[in-house]
Structure 1
Amino acid sequence: MDGIADLDTADLDAAAVRVYQLRVTHPTDGAGQLAARAGLTPVEVARAEAQLSAIGLLQPSPGGGWVAVSPESAAESLLAPMEQEILQHRIAMAATRERLHSLSGDYLEARGMRSATSSVELVDGLGNIRSVIDDLARTCSSSIDVISPGGTQNEEAMRAALPLDLDVLGRGVRLRLLLQYSARGHRATVQYVEEIVEAGAQVRCTGVLPSRLLCYDRDCVVLPRDPAQTGAGVALIRDTAVLAFVGQLFTHYWDAAEDFLADPEDGAAEAAPDAAPHGIERDVLQLMAAGKTNEAIAAQLGVSRRSVSRLVGRLMDRLGATNRFQAGALAARRGWLASSPPA
């Protein structure tokens, strides 16, 4: 099959096409006669005939010279060996796939034994980590919960995750993803979220998130071994106490978050005067009460200073405050600052 790249009929020049036509209409012409009819030199005719012969459109005549062959017959003759080779490769691939699939039961049994003997498994290397996550995604049956801090998500990782996400959603698995507000400003992340939400995923965002984590079926959680160091590897944890804590942690942040694709100011604009702040409004209030400026709040939450200014103004109006200090005191009196402010 190595020669298939050389057999490109698009490379036939006008002289070769003309010689081919004349060989069809004047099969008994000698080289000199054909050259005269085509207005070519004998050397040009010989070169054209060599081109046509290489792709099977001219075949040697038993009596000497060349015989023109139809393109369909030439294709059949030329490609039959290649098709046979492809068929053999496909048969070999099918046999290999069958042998590998026959080991699925042994693999699942061994993986179950591994989980039973060790509640913590350490995995290093990007390729190994991706293989583990791919395996967990393909074998999970009920839920995947993901916390992904940071505003700029890794585009290569999202491209790799998208087919897996669509597959698990197609199988009816619940997928929930938590991002930070700042991710709303990353175009690739927004496009990724729109695609998985359309397929049935739930995506929310909040101001501050803990370390990245992925939890599969509430049975295995993937955590970075060192959140501060990229490429430090991950830990797969199956300990029931840790899984229970991770479940509570995710629920805490999920319940306080807001729809990723919603307008961040919609809820604040419609809130009742006595309604406790929620989502980004709550985060802004807590940071404001902690003494942060609008600029600092905007930087920490990943939103514009203009949005922060509007939210601060609405909060002060609801509280009936004339300054930020008074707003903090009134919010504390109402119990709106019961939870600690974002770090």
Structure 2
Amino acid sequence: MSMHAEALYVVLAPMEASTVPDLAQLSDRTVAEVEQQLAELQRLGMVYEMGGGQWQAVPVLEAAKGLQAQRIAELDAAMMAADALQSKLLAASESRSDAVSTVVGREAIISVRREICGAAKREVCGFDKPPYTVAPRSNQQELDEESPEWQALERGVSVRSVYHPGFDPERLGQLTMFAAHGEQARMGIVPMKLLLIDSSIALIPSMKSYTPGHELRASLIRHPMVVEALQWLFEAVWDSSVSIIASAVNSNGQDPRRELLISLLMTGSTDSAIASQLGVNERSVRRWVSELMEEFGVRTRLQLGAALVRSETLRHETSRLGS
């Protein structure tokens, strides 16, 4: 409300009614100014025209309530308009051509993987499952130069991976280096290959395209709702998978799968479950368990479990004191 309209309301309010010429005389304004200010007051619900050129003021409390109701209605309308605009913006963002795109060819997939991992700021999550487009790296120099996930770890980005059961020595050798470098690793049944970057971008290679005679393909996904669902899937598989203890992947010249046995034993896994996870038969598992029992000087599986826990606790204490 303008200052002049407010002053006119103060003049009109004590009177039962008044005409425009009378108000002009009383307020020392021109007729045109009074008409303009009455129109403003009328829009605010503070005066009304009675007919016959007579104007009357609405009691101030009633006028205030009217103004309040008007403002609430305006705010509600603004909120509805904002919701409608947000829906349009979301629909527009979800319908962008780059929300889901197809990457074709081995080199293109490697390039995209390098690009999105290089942009990671917080976390890289992934399902690791054969077959692979790139052979496992056998030394740290190769990882420094060629592995985008390794380079993310070097920058301080968190990396979490769930590895599908059944490791060949080369793949396990690379897992060993990643675990020693800070990767959080678990073993579990994964449904597909998957790479998630900062819960905002996903790369899903097509498993079918790995069959002979097919060109490799992958889907690059930026659609927020799809990425959210994939992150939820990753967390569900992660929670149900078996942790790989970093110290358990130091092979010491032995079959490296035997060393992963330690992680599985400490979770209480059965021989059958361990054999399935490691891709070996139960006889090999029983042999490795016997060798561990002899190594720790114990006679039962229960004693072995306690010895493994003590060994792992001692390793953590030694690491903590040395840091």
TM-score scaled by length of structure 2? 0.46
TM-score scaled by length of structure 1? 0.44
* Bigger CA radius of gyration: 2
